Each structure stands twice: as C-alpha cells, then as structure tokens.
Amino acid sequence: MPRVSPKRLAALLTAALAVFSFCRVSVLFFESISAVRADREADAELIEICKSGAARGSTKMRAACLQARADRASPLLFKAIVRAVHTAWSEFVDTVGTPFGFATVVLFLLSGFVVPVIPWLKTLALAWNSEEEYSEPNDEERHVIVLAGEGAPRGGVRRRVARMLRGPSRKRTDTGIVELSANGNGFHEVGLE
C-alpha cells in the first residue's frame, strides 16, 4: 500500500467532511420540505372548518385559523429552508452544550480564522519595526549597481512584496565600485572594494 503524505491525508479528510456536511444539510432540507407539506395537508381540514364559519366566536379558533392561513401563505421552499436552518442550529447548540463540544468549536475557530492570520501579523509587525528602526543613510553609503543583459535574476512576487514590507536592509557597508570593464559577451565585470 503506498504511503500517504500528511498533506494528502488532511486534504482527503477535509473533502470527506465537506461531503458529509453537504449530505447532512441536504437531508435536513428534504426532511423539512416533507414536514412542511405534511403540516399543510394536516391543516387542510382546519382551513375547511374555518371557511365554514364554525366556532367564529372563539378566540382560540380564530387564532388557529389565522395561524393555519399564515403557514399556508408562506412559500414552501422558504419555509423548508427556515426549518432546516432552525434544526441545524438546534443540533449545533445541543453539541456545543457539552465541554467537549465547546472545545471543538474553539479549536475550529482558532484553526480556521486565527492560524492563517498569524503570518500576516508577523509580516506587518516586522515591517512596522523596520520602519521605526530605519535611519536615512548618508549620501556616501548609497551605491547603485546595474547589471545589463537578459540573464539578470528576477525575484518572485512573494519575495519582492516581502522585501518591500521589510523595508531597506539594515546591513549597510561602505563598499563602492572600483572597477567596471566590459567583456566580449556583453556583460560587465565589476570589482568591489
């Protein structure tokens, strides 16, 4: 049996949990549609009695008739969605009501929202600190070296953004260009002191 890497295992586990969650939500939705239809069919007799005018003087009968008509007036799809969400919320509250369930929710929130933000916070903190520690260099310390040709290396976007956020390098030396000469290949040889 081939060995599965931890990343692959985590991806498979996440996909399985996503499929399971989708199935659970679908089941809740279809159960809600069935329950709403059954409730409406059960209220059909009550609505017929309300139309006939039986027990008009009773406030309880009027309230029951109004409730049955209100339930029938709402669209079946929307009522099923609301019922499915209510059922899912009730299950969630029942699960989180235990200490283990609460710890699971806290772990989910930490892993889902806090952990991905930490590297960005570190990068911003480093950029903030490097801005505060940066002092303007003297004109004598500034040097520019230009490399001509197509072979000049280019950094990736991630490295360039990291360098931009870090600010200028803290290590400064007083090196200057001593010698600049061209060879036959179109490149320049540079000697530094």
DSSP 43-84: THHHHHHHHHTTTTT-HHHHHHHHHHHHHHHS-HHHHHHHHH
In a shared domain, residues 129 and 148: no
Query: Is residue 80 one of the residues assigned to a domain?
Result: yes
- Asked if residue 190 lies in contact with residue 145, where contact means CB atoms within 8 angstroms, the answer is yes
CB atoms within 10 A of CB 91: 12
Structural tokens at position 173: 């030396």
In a shared domain, residues 21 and 112: yes
Query: Is residue 61 one of the residues assigned to a domain?
Result: yes
Query: Is residue 1 one of the residues assigned to a domain?
Result: no
**Per-residue tens of pLDDT for the chain, all 193 residues:** 678 788 888 888 889 988 998 898 899 999 999 998 998 888 888 888 888 887 778 888 888 888 888 888 888 889 899 989 899 888 888 878 888 888 888 888 787 777 778 888 888 888 877 665 555 555 555 556 666 555 545 556 667 666 766 766 555 454 454 455 555 555 555 554 4
- Asked if residue 31 lies in contact with residue 86, where contact means CB atoms within 8 angstroms, the answer is no
Query: Is residue 84 one of the residues assigned to a domain?
Result: yes
Range of the domain at 155: 139-192
In a shared domain, residues 72 and 112: yes
- pTM, full prediction: 0.46
Count CA atoms closer than 13 A to 176's CA, side-chain side.
6
Whole-angstrom distance, CA of residue 113 vs CA of residue 106: 10
Give the total number of structural domains in the chain: 2
Query: Is residue 145 one of the residues assigned to a domain?
Result: yes
In a shared domain, residues 39 and 102: yes
Query: Is residue 106 one of the residues assigned to a domain?
Result: yes
